Amino acid sequence: MTTFEQLSATVGGRFDHRAHVHVTWLAVRAAGMPDAIALVSDGLRGTARYAGVPQKYHATVSRAWVELVAHHTAEDPAADFDTFAARNPALLDKRLLTRFYRSTTLAGAAARSGWVEPDLAPFPWHAA
């Protein structure tokens, strides 16, 4: 079974937003979307706890990014991350979730500790 640590090690270097998206893309490809949610969420929660900043973990943000990356991965099964990123530049904008969520919603305790549905616009795969 693939672990978050194994995926993170393949990215290496500084763990910025692009690296988060890269690890998420690897997790989606390795485990599929539903299992990638747990893989990424548990990994980020553990990393934040290990770094002494458990309050930095955010459940809704973690799951939302997995869902976004999974959607784009299904739409564009690129063979490598650089190609995927070049074809999906919106995913490299760390403010992307502001298209779907109010900042007050994401700042709330419910969103930090559990899943909250988008409140500005539905995700593309939920739109009717």
Over residues 2-39, the pLDDT tens digits come to 666 665 655 555 678 999 999 999 999 999 999 999 99
Instruction: List, for residues 49-105, the tens digit of each pLDDT value.
Output: 888 988 999 999 999 999 999 999 999 889 999 999 999 999 999 999 999 999 999
| pLDDT confidence of residue 7 | 56
Res. 128: pLDDT tops 80: no
Cα separation, 23 vs 20, in Å, equals 5
Q: What is the pLDDT of residue 65?
A: 97
Q: What span, in angstroms and rounded, lies between the C-alpha atoms of 53 and 1?
A: 27
Name the token pair of 23.
């690890």
- Of 3, 106, 15, 122, the C-alpha closest to 62 is 106
Residue 76 has a pLDDT of: 86
CB-based contact 27:61 (threshold 8 Å): no
